[in-house]
Structure formats: structure tokens, C-alpha cells
């Protein structure tokens, strides 16, 4: 499926009716000196897209925001409507081909689309029950005529879609749209606190008040500010922000897992490892659940510790034990979101490692442990010590050094949408940006399966 998806992104002739990179280049030729990954050799339109986690009021993942990368949005911001529509077709088409309904489950998708794109056929191919269509204004142009836009919105809402609009102040929301909005998206970056309070107060006076998504929250203080005002969804760097956790004690599961992880590293005999696992029933049960999940990749179900050990070997068993320890050490919803980010990094690094002849299992652990302190909300060095982490993994996670550091940097750059760094790091790892794009997409879908 992914190979077909990226062939389509390149504008493969097998599907001429669908948008591809050739359409984009025809309608929106790139400037020669654009400093982003899409201008690098071998890069495809896959690097134009990104996804970001949205947390609910309980700080657990409630959905995702899907859009063009910021560098791409900036480049086309003052382009014509036809350019925006072609890019929107790439966005909606990729989500449809990636089987978004299965991947989202109970979560929502906020999809950023031009305000004049609602009548396009591809919109209704998105899952109606959990899709929020966020209308983006096209710079320098007015909203589409109300006589055209309102019937489109009403038709979509009656089919189950929700409608969102970006606004910093109450005055940014046209009066005729307010009754049909389900969500208002407001950006916290550079916002005036009093202006934000006024916006919330204005919305709450409505007979059917829309919810609010707060973007770009930098810290937990920002989260608490918007939470107190009544926002429903939250987005931003605060999700994986490191804090001062030196006073927090390690979970008992972590301490109990150390003898087991040391035995696996030192190649102790199988009966000893089985005995240690049986002493840690909670870890053993969670390990078997991960191994038998859709993302486990095993040829058959395993029903015992002995069976798992014989079937997957020491390195893979270390992976499942680490994941079992993580899943038992998540004291808050934000930890669940950080766990998903760690899983995406881990799987992306594993896939890129396997494709380039590196040790995929070790790279998986590097990605997984890169956020161990945020997941467990403990000091990073203490967590690595407690988990008996190997020196080469410690070097990558603690010092950004050693043979695995650049691949970890590449995974983080992709997560952050740092397009300039992606190109440089992919070259340093002797990979293409297309390799990184495909690995990231597969890693995302894998993480959604394993961390529902």
C-alpha cells in the first residue's frame, strides 16, 4: 500500500486522474532556492505532509491534526485558489489511501483545507464520523459567498462531519458562520491573555457554543491556562516537554525489570530468564499482549513465556519487556501521548536501520528510550540506569553521540517537521528523504495499532 502511495505522490501515470507532484509543479513551480526537503534530490511530495497529536482534557490523545508542512504552507500562502486546491487533493487523497478510518479508531482527524474546497469529491471520502474540516482562509481573498458556503457546510454537517475555523478574536468569526461551527481553532503563539478570555467568553454566550482547540502550547502552564478557560483539545510542544522530575520515584515495575533486562543482555540461560519473567507477572502479561498484537509481526500467537522466548529470541524479547515496562509506568495521559511519539521514533529507526544494514532491534530501543523520562516522568539518567541500558544506546539518548545518534536526530527532525534538517540528516545517514518519509508513515500506522 505504501509503495503505491508514494508512486502516486510522484505522479505515476497509472492513476492520471489523481493529483501528483507533476500537478503541483505545473500549478505551483518551486523557487530555485527554497530551503526545505522538497527541493532536495530524490524528495517526493510525501515530505509535504505532516500530522500532529491533539490531547483531550484528560491529556490523552484525542485525535490528530493533518496538514501540509509549515514550509509548504508558507510557500503557497499567496498562491491562487487552484494551487491551494491541488495541494488539498494531495492531502485528502493521501489520507484516504492510508486507510484513515481504521487507523483513527475512536480518535478524530482535524484536516486543514481551503475554505473553497468543501464541495470537492475527495472531502466526502474522509470518514464522516470523526473528521473535523478546518477551513483555512486564502491570503488576500474573502471567504466564499455565504449563499454558496453555508449549504455546503450544512450538507457536510448533516452527513456527520464537523466544521472548524481559525480565530484569534471573536471578530475573526463571521456572524453567519458562528451557528454552524463545531470547533474554533486558536493559536496561543503571541496571544494576548485578555483577548483569549474575551474570545472564550464570546463563544460561551452562544446558544450552541463551539469547542476550542488551542494550538502551539509551549508548556504545562499554557495547557492549564487554556484548560481552565474550557478548551477541549490541546496541541503543542508541551506534550513531550522535559521537566524537573528528580524528586519522583521510579515505578516498582522498573526496578523489578532490571534483573530480567540484565539477564537478557548477559545471555543467561533460558530457564533463568523464564523464572525471572514469571516473578514479574504484570510485565509478563503485558509483554505477551504486545507480542500478540496486530503490530507484533509474529507468524502465530504465543501463549507462554517459553514459547515467546523460543519464537522471537533475546533481542526481540528485550523489546517487548521494555514496552511492557513503559505501558505499566504511565502516571498521566500526557505520558500516553509521549509513549506514542516514542513508538513512532522507535519503529521509524528500526525500519531505516534494517533498510541500510544496521541493527534494527538496537535502533528500536534507542527510539523507544529517547522519551523514557517523559513517559515515566522521572529523571532521564535514573531511568536509563534502572533499565540497564547498553552504553551505545545511552550515548545516543544522553549525549547525542555514537553510531545511532544521527538516525535518532533524523526521526526527531521528521517528528518536528524540520525540513532543512531532514535533508541534511538523511544524507548523513546515507538515506533519501523518501526513505525517511515512507518509514515515518509506516511507523505512525504501526504505533497507532500498538498504542490504541
Over residues 276-294, mean pLDDT: 76
Report whether pLDDT(187) > 60. Answer: yes
Point out the least confidently predicted range of 224-228, 257-261, 290-294, 299-303: 290-294
Between 405-416 and 433-450, two packed helices, what is the crossing angle to 10 degrees? Answer: 80
| pLDDT of the residue at 111 | 94
* Of 332 and 64, more confident: 64
| pLDDT of the residue at 340 | 86
Query: Mean of the per-residue pLDDT values for the chain?
Result: 81
Report whether pLDDT(431) > 70. Answer: yes
Burial level of 26, CB count in 10 A (0-12/13-18/19+)?
exposed
* Of 133 and 336, more confident: 133
| pLDDT of the residue at 332 | 62
Over residues 102-116, mean pLDDT: 87
Q: Between the ranges 135-149, 220-234, 408-422, 436-450, where is the mean pLDDT highest?
A: 220-234
Q: Between the ranges 197-211, 253-267, 303-317, where is the mean pLDDT highest?
A: 197-211
* Of 369 and 74, more confident: 369
* Of 447 and 10, more confident: 447
For residues 127 and 109, the answer to whether their CB atoms sit within 8 Å is: yes
* Of 266 and 26, more confident: 266
Over residues 95-117, mean pLDDT: 84
CA 296/CA 320 separation, integer angstroms: 9
| pLDDT of the residue at 350 | 95
Q: Between the ranges 11-20, 96-105, 201-210, where is the mean pLDDT highest?
A: 201-210
Point out the least confidently predicted range of 38-52, 86-100, 194-208, 342-356: 38-52
| pLDDT of the residue at 11 | 36
List pLDDT tens digits, range 218-272: 988 999 999 999 999 999 988 887 776 665 666 777 777 888 888 888 888 888 8
| pLDDT of the residue at 445 | 79
Report whether pLDDT(41) > 60. Answer: no
Question: Pick from 358, 263, 361: which is nearest to 305 by CA?
Answer: 263
List pLDDT tens digits, range 116-172: 999 999 999 999 989 999 999 887 788 889 999 999 999 999 999 999 999 998 889
Which residues, 6 or more positions from 202, have their beta carbon under 8 angstroms from its beta carbon?
170
Report whether pLDDT(192) > 80. Answer: yes
CA 434/CA 439 separation, integer angstroms: 8
Q: How confident is the model at residue 412 (pLDDT cuts 50, 70, 90)?
A: very high
Amino acid at each position: 500500500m505504501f509503495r503505491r502511495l508514494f508512486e502516486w505522490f510522484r505522479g505515476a501515470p497509472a492513476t492520471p486522474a489523481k493529483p501528483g507532484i507533476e500537478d503541483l509543479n505545473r500549478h505551483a513551480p518551486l523557487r530555485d532556492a527554497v530551503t526545505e526537503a522538497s527541493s532536495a534530490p530524490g524528495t517526493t511530495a510525501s515530505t509535504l505532509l505532516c500530522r500532529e497529536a491533539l490531547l483531550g482534557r484528560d491529556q490523552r490523545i484525542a485525535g490528530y491534526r493533518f496538514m501540509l508542512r509549515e514550509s509548504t504552507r508558507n510557500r503557497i500562502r499567496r498562491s491562487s485558489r487552484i494551487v491551494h486546491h491541488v495541494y488539498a487533493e494531495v492531502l485528502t487523497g493521501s489520507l484516504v489511501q492510508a486507510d484513515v478510518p481504521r487507523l483513527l479508531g475512536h480518535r478524530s482527524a482535524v484536516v486543514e483545507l481551503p475554505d473553497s474546497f468543501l464541495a470537492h469529491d475527495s472531502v466526502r471520502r474522509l470518514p464522516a464520523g470523526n473528521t473535523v474540516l478546518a477551513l483555512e482562509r486564502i491570503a488576500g481573498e474573502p471567504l466564499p459567498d455565504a449563499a454558496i458556503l453555508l449549504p455546503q457546510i450544512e450538507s457536510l454537517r448533516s452527513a456527520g462531519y464537523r466544521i472548524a475555523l481559525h480565530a484569534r478574536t471573536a471578530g475573526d468569526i463571521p456572524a453567519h458562520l458562528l451557528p454552524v461551527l463545531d470547533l474554533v481553532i486558536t493559536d496561543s503563539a503571541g496571544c494576548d491573555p485578555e483577548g483569549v478570555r474575551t474570545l472564550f467568553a464570546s463563544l460561551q454566550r452562544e446558544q450552541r457554543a463551539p469547542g476550542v482547540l488551542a494550538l502551539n502550547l509551549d508548556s504545562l502552564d499554557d495547557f492549564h491556562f487554556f484548560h481552565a478557560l474550557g478548551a477541549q483539545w490541546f496541541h503543542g510542544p508541551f506534550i513531550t516537554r522535559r521537566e524537573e522530575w528528580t524528586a519522583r520515584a521510579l515505578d516498582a515495575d522498573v526496578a523489578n525489570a532490571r534483573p530480567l533486562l540484565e539477564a537478557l543482555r548477559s545471555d543467561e540461560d533460558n530457564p533463568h530468564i523464564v523464572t525471572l519473567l514469571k516473578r514479574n507477572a504484570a510485565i509478563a502479561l503485558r509483554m505477551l499482549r504486545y507480542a500478540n498484537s496486530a503490530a507484533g509481526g509474529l507468524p502465530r500467537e504465543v501463549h507462554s513465556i517459553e514459547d515467546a522466548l523460543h519464537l522471537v529470541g533475546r533481542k526481540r524479547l528485550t523489546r517487548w519487556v521494555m514496552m511492557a515496562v513503559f505501558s505499566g509506568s504511565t502516571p498521566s495521559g500526557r505520558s500516553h501521548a509521549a509513549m506514542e511519539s516514542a513508538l513512532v521514533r522507535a519503529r521509524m529507526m528500526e525500519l531505516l536501520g534494517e533498510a541500510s544494514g544496521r541493527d534494527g532491534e538496537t535502533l528500536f530501543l534507542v527510539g523507544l528510550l529517547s522519551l523514557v523520562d517523559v513517559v515515566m516522568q522521572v529523571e532521564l539518567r535514573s531511568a536509563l540506569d534502572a533499565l540497564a541500558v547498553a552504553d551505545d544506546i545511552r550515548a545516543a539518548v544522553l549525549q547525542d553521540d555514537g553510531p545511532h545518534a544521527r538516525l535518532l536526530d533524523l526521526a526527531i527532525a521528521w517528528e518536528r517537521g524540520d525540513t532543512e534538517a531532514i535533508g541534511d540528516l538523511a544524507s548523513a545517514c546515507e538515506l533519501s528523504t523518501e526513505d525517511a518519509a515512507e518509514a515515518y508513515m509506516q511507523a505512525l500506522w504501526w504505533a497507532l495499532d500498538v498504542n490504541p
